Chains A and B, each alone.
Chain A
Amino acid sequence: MSGDYILGTENLKAYYETRHGYVKAVDNISFLVKSNEIFGICGESGCGKSTLMKVLYGIIEPPLKFISGQISINIDGKEISIQNTNVNEIKKLWWKDISYIPQSSMSVLNPTRKIEDQFIDIFKKWHKKISRRKIRKLIRKNFDALGLPREALSSYPHQLSGGMRQRIVISMATIHNPKIVYADEPTTALDVVVQRGILEVIKELQKKLNNTFVIVTHDMGIHYQLSHRIMVMYAGKICEIGETDDIFQNSAHPYTALLIESLPRLGDKSERKSIEGSPPSLLDPPKGCRFHTRCPYATQECAEKEPPLTEIWHDHYVACFHPLKTK
């Protein structure tokens, strides 16, 4: 892995083991994430985006099973391969080098401890000698920067609103300047006004910390506002990867194009159409291209062979036999 990239996967497969067989949530996925970028992953529910996030972060617990492939992260010039590293070793990287912002802040926050104590717990993990006063000073500085009131420090999580809690988790996830921050639907549970505020905070933090954010959300609008590059997933596979403006203006995969066309917008009353049909079951996904059952451009070839992810022009990759845009 060269120095420009901080995270990469190769032929990654991670399945859920069920009574009826494997659910192929992440199925043969290869991509690279650059240092110092906001990398967006989008797709509908059940496309495997959250599973991918879990695997990247190193949480592989049953029924989720790592099948094959490679995941590597590049921390301070050292390549760490996630699948070959002991879980306890990976846990040592959490918060400090890689951190995670989940959809529900309560899955990170301890409901029985005050916010300040939870911050101190994480600090004490690496800095045994640091004094509480010094930690408090650092947290306050961080809170001021995120526009969080200091009173929140002496509160329990349930006393705070959802938006406030989410900002506290963002503060926790970034206070140690980690190299990679994963965020899984960080604002989906929040209202639009709060959402905009939080996304602005994330954008500013990324600029300030010069690190990498990997953001998973189904909301294309958020990707347009936030992400530098986007990866579109469908039914456990990658459809398309490219720079945000390129993806929106020159969508090459029919799924990406139809998805963007279906989105209603303020100021535009022209008719919007849904994509026919619904996403397939990952227990028994269709052969060939997984989108061919819903794709208006599908041919016999699409039903038989799986299209490989190919570069159609610089930094724009598509997995389709009949891309809407070519060189």
Chain B
Amino acid sequence: MVKGMEYPLLETINLTKVFKIGGIFKGTNLKAVDNVNLRIESDEPVILSIVGESGCGKTTLAKLILKLLQPTSGTIKFEGEDITKIKGKSKMVEFKRKVQPIFQNPFESFNPLRTVDKYLYASALKLQVAKDKEEAEEIIRETLSSVGLNPEVAFGKKPHEFSGGELQRISIARALISKPKLIIADEPVSMLDASIRMSIINLFLKLKKEFNTYFIYITHDLATAYYISDFIAIMFRGSIVEYGLAHEVLSDPLHPYTETLVNSIPDIRKRWSGKIALSGLELKEFEAVGCKFWRRCPYSNDRCKSSAPKLIKLKNGRMVACFRYQ
């Protein structure tokens, strides 16, 4: 439970989002997010990583929590309140003050023709954090220095005058203006070069400590997820297949998919051994009745084909959706 509160910070209950793909008559339904139950309920601020390959539904899940998409079924509770039912401008502003996004490509987040400080002012005024421009400027200066940028240098410049790393710092500063409880960062470093990537990752750790901000870090990169996160959820084809403390899940994966994922990282100390099965089964896997991984799983049997394993609790808050542990 979050301090002074009776509810978990965030809770998704049977959250599902269905997209229709293909034609009007013969189209199929694709469950991008399939019955997801997640909870963030720690006293101290934590970083939860949601990890998976492209098309696993991690970005859809982020958009649902940010209220950029409406779920097909299920609910999302933030501090105990059902956010799928939030309506009206003042309620929305209140919600946005508490939950803020950071996106993948900072060059797409900003209009190339406007100076970046305009966005910072707009955020401060729209989220009603500041009454007027003067008050906004003070807050902006403060947040810019907390992300390691000199406010004097950042004012009056357009996006192309910054490097990718600096611009991503500015989008982090923008997200920090309202002092949000939760920041949802969707692949925030995948566009950045290796030599500057870690400075952004380290900044998240610093903000977590200094501002008591909770983070949901969405990524396909297991190495940064291991470095930064307290908890980790592994997603596959719309479902969470494993959840737990990051170092436990990644150093001792239980679900065969997590194992495949961990074994596929190109490490710089250990060379790969053995071989890996490739598949061209994406859509089939989404539509599978049973476990979505059975076609590629070395341990699968008839049961896996016909019924889907539920996410069950093991020790230490660890959860896994696989019949081998039931």
What is the interface of chain A, defined by CB distance below 8 A to chain B?
Answer: 44-45, 147, 149, 152, 160-161, 163-164, 167, 191-200, 218-222, 224-225, 248, 258-260, 262-267, 269, 271-275, 278-279
B264 at the interface (CB under 8 A from A): yes
B198 and A149 contact, CB distance less than 8 A: no
CB neighbours of A193 from chain B (8 A):
53, 260-261, 264, 276
Q: Give complex CA distance A83, B250 in Å.
A: 50
A192 and B261 contact, CB distance less than 8 A: yes
With contacts A191-B54, A224-B267, A264-B223 known, what are 11 further pairs, Cβ within 8 A?
A192-B265, A192-B266, A193-B261, A197-B278, A264-B227, A265-B267, A266-B222, A267-B226, A269-B247, A272-B227, A278-B196
The interface on chain B, measured as residues whose beta carbon lies within 8 A of the other chain's beta carbons, has a size of 42
**Partner among B164, B166, B195, B266 whose Cβ is within 8 Å of the Cβ of A196:** B266
Q: Give complex CA distance A160, B269 in Å.
A: 34
A163 and B266 contact, CB distance less than 8 A: no
Digit string of B172-210 for contact with A (CB within 8 Å is 1, else 0)?
A: 000000000000000000000111111101100000000
A9 to chain B, nearest CB (A): 25
CB neighbours of B272 from chain A (8 A):
196, 200, 225
B2 at the interface (CB under 8 A from A): no
Closest residue of chain B to A260, judged by CB? Answer: B268
Knowing A224-B267, A279-B193 are in contact, say whether A161-B165 is a contact too (CB < 8 A): no
B199 and A266 contact, CB distance less than 8 A: no
Q: Give complex CA distance A199, B271 in Å.
A: 12
**Partner among B197, B223, B266, B276 whose Cβ is within 8 Å of the Cβ of A225:** B266
B251 and A274 contact, CB distance less than 8 A: no
The B interface is mostly helix, strand or loop, or mixed, namely helix
B104 at the interface (CB under 8 A from A): no
Closest residue of chain B to A44, judged by CB? Answer: B193
A266 and B193 contact, CB distance less than 8 A: no
Q: Give complex CA distance A196, B53 in Å.
A: 13
B227 and A274 contact, CB distance less than 8 A: no
Digit string of B249-290 for contact with A (CB within 8 Å is 1, else 0)?
A: 011000000001111111111011001111010100000000
B105 at the interface (CB under 8 A from A): no
A266 and B194 contact, CB distance less than 8 A: no
B265 and A221 contact, CB distance less than 8 A: yes
Among B195, B198, B280, the one with the most A-chain Cβ atoms within 10 Å of its Cβ is B195
B29 at the interface (CB under 8 A from A): no
CB neighbours of B267 from chain A (8 A):
221, 224-225, 265-266
Digit string of B110-136 for contact with A (CB within 8 Å is 1, else 0)?
A: 000000000000000000000000000
